[in-house]
Structure formats: C-alpha cells, structure tokens
Structure 1
Amino acid sequence: MEQEKARTTPVVLVGAQEFAAVFGGPARNTAQWIQRGVLDYDEAAIVSGRAYWPIGFVLAWGDTPERQKTPDMDYVKQLIAEQAPGANEKVVMAVRANSLPPIVGVQEILALTGEDPTKAKLITDAMKAGVLTPDWRLSGSPLWRLPSALAGLERMRERPKSRPLVVIPEVEKALEGRTYDGPGSRITSGKGRTAERREELRKEQSQKQALREPTGPEGSEGASEGS
C-alpha cells in the first residue's frame, strides 16, 4: 500500500541549483550551507551521486527561526506547475524524503542493467532518441521514477539492432525497496566533487572577466543577452 501511494504521489524536487534559486541565490549557496552544517542530506534523495530535496522540505528549512529566508514563491509555483501540473499544493508540500518513490539516474540505470559506469552514452543516446524520457531534469541531470526507467529500457530492447539490456532482478528489488547501495547511492566526494566545484568557479570567473572587458556595440549587445 505504501509503495503504491509513493508511486502516485505528486513529487516536486529540487537539486542544488534549484534549492538556492528558491531563495534567490546561485547554486554555490547550497554547497556553502552544507559545508556550514546548516543543511544536510537527511531529507534528500541521493541519486547518481547528487542530492535532491522535496520542495516542501526546502520551504520548511528556510522558515526556521535561525534562517528566515524568504522564498521566491513565483519560482516555487513554476516548479510545481512543471513537475506536478494540477496537483494539490498541500499534498505536494507534505511530501518528505521517506515518502518519495524509487528514483533513479544514469548511474542507477547502468547498474540496473549490469553495464559499466562508463557507458553513460547508452543512456544519453536513448534519451536523444526519445525512448528513455526523464521524469525530471534538475540541476543539469536527468531523473526517472523507477517504473518509467523500466518502461524505457523495454522500449530500448524493442528497437531494431538495439543492444539487449537485461534488468538484474536483485538490483531492481533493492531500488524498489530503497536498500540499493551501488553506484550513485552516495554523494560524489573527493576528486569528483572538487573537480565539479573547480568547473563552477572557472565559469563564474569567466563570466566576471567578460563583464569587465570593454566591448563595442556588438559585444555589448552579446553581453546583455548572455547575462
């Protein structure tokens, strides 16, 4: 009964980028809150090495006495309209991590089919072909409810000359029962997280430098469009 309820519950999630955007800031704010210990992963789903929080938790987190952060409710309503159109807002806000349905990303799908973690192109090609359509695209990453991913894998097997991807029952059961501890089940750390942060800083520095550089009329117009 609980699993069936989780499958049908309207779910609105945010990744690091969207979490910060709810409060009008850049993605690095979320990382800083985590580093300071004011935000953790207890109310997050960890999918393909990244954290995703239910929107109801995000608003409750910002409304605590020590924080009192004002959310951008227009943006929140936009997220709800995109992810759970027509859903009852109170129901959406009541969802917490322990009531989320099984959610998978690229790493979990590769583990589900016994494929090497480096074979992500199998999944991205299927996405481009429209046979494995994500339920969410958050903070630059695709996410699926487990049944959606399984249906997509079935469509991949039905394609002419497709590579047969066989679902491993034990992994499916672990994902369904929320006991999965394979690739993607832990937050990316160490070199992976450091490299990701370096890339974010590089992009920020490039943007600041571009704004400082003098440009002609054409360059000014381009800078305005990109900002």
Structure 2
Amino acid sequence: MSRRKPYLVGHQEFAALYRVDSKMVAQWLAPSRSVLDPSTALVVSGVRYWPLGFAARFGTTAARFRQVDLDVKARIVEEQGAGWEPDLGDELPPIVGQQEIIAMFHLPAQGNLATTIATGRFPQHDWVLSGSMLWLLETVLDAVPELRQSGRSVPWDADGEVVAALRGGTYDGPGSRVLTRGRHATKGL
C-alpha cells in the first residue's frame, strides 16, 4: 500500500541543509549552546528526527541567521518520494524504528528482526535517514499477515498496548529516549 509520508530529516540531512558538519547539529542541541531545542525533534529508536518544514525554517529563527540550501532540500524531497512537508512534530503520524518494532512484537532478540529485514520478508522501509531505517507504524501493521505466513519461530502478534501508545504519542518503551553521550551525559541524570 502506498502512503504519502511526511518529509523528515535526521542529523546528517539537517546538517546538509545548512552546509555544516553533522556534528554541528549535536552542538546546536547541547545545553551549553541551546541553539536548537531538543523538544522540536521526534525520537525514534533513540535518535532525533525533525519534520523537514521545521528544519528548513530553523535558520530563520536562530539567533544567527542561517541560509538553507534549497538544492539540498529539493534533493531530500526527491529522495523521499511523494509526501508532504510538516512543520511540527505533533503533525506526524506514528513512526517506528527497530527498537519500537522489537518492543511491539516482543521479539526475543534484535537478530530476529535483522534477519527478517535482510531476507526481504519485512516491509520495505519508508525512510533511510542518517543511516537508519524508519517505517510508518501502519506500514508495519499492514504487513502482519505476510509476516505471520513467513514467520518460522516468531508469531508476529502486535502488542495492542504498545500500538496504542505509539498511536497516542505516549510510548515510553525502548527507543523512546535519546541516550546522551559525552560530557553532557552526567548532566541528564
């Protein structure tokens, strides 16, 4: 089933929009700099992603004006296919990564999912952002009948409570938080 999906960016794509190194986005997020508010991002599998509309507008709202590279923006839109440009995270449909999928199906190990993906039995990802695969929740749920047919040792029964939490924006399981690294890690405790 083909769905129009929202255009998203990860750290690498966000950095490309402003022609800076991807480490710069992490610096903008640092509490000591407070250039980019972490709450503007959607967290999927422990990684931040932003709606393209917000990311493209960010340069005009920062204390120091930054010009977005419109060619990079056009390339991002082209790579992601038919979609729409959200500005706020609450406009986004439920999006999942591998950690949320493992929790949703109570998979015994990450290897179960990795093998299913590698053998082509899992639905095609909706995005690859900053090197990570992401899916619309509905893409994964629509594939459950096929997953059950091809599953040998995994029943592929989705946990209704996890699905409801993902749909309602209240999911707080594995992957729902960014694990802070570096010198700011101790400040987050």
Both structures adopt the same fold (TM-score exceeding 0.5): yes
Q: Which has the larger radius of gyration?
A: 1
Deviations 1:117-175 (A, max 9, x none): xx222222222222322101111111110011122343221116352222111111111
Moved more, 65-74 or 180-189: 65-74
The number of equivalent residue pairs is: 179
Is 1:17 aligned to residue 12 of structure 2?
yes
2:26 is aligned to: 31
Q: In the alignment, residue 18 of structure 1 is paired with which amino acid?
A: E
Structure-1 separation of matches of 2:161 and 2:55: 33
Q: In the alignment, residue 165 of structure 1 is paired with which amino acid?
A: W
Question: Alignment partner for residue 106 of structure 2, among 98, 104, 114?
Answer: 114
Structure-1 separation of matches of 2:6 and 2:141: 19
Is 1:104 aligned to residue 99 of structure 2?
no
Decide whether the 8 Å contact of 1:131 with 1:152 is kept in 2.
Answer: no
Structure-2 separation of matches of 1:10 and 1:73: 20
2:136 is aligned to: 145
Decide whether the 8 Å contact of 1:50 with 1:187 is kept in 2.
Answer: yes
Query: What is the Cα-based RMSD across aligned positions, in Å?
Result: 2.1
1:40 is aligned to: 37
Q: In the alignment, residue 174 of structure 1 is paired with which amino acid?
A: A
The structure with more helix, counted as a fraction of residues: 1
Runs of 4+ in structure 1 over 3 Å off: none
Identity %: 38
Structure-2 separation of matches of 1:121 and 1:160: 14
Unaligned runs of 5+ in 2: none
Decide whether the 8 Å contact of 1:156 with 1:162 is kept in 2.
Answer: no
Deviations 1:174-201 (A, max 9, x none): 111111111111112248x98xxxxxxx
Is 1:63 aligned to residue 63 of structure 2?
no
Unaligned runs of 5+ in 1: 1-7, 195-227
Q: 1:160 to 1:32 in 2, by over 3 A?
A: closer
Is 1:168 aligned to residue 159 of structure 2?
yes
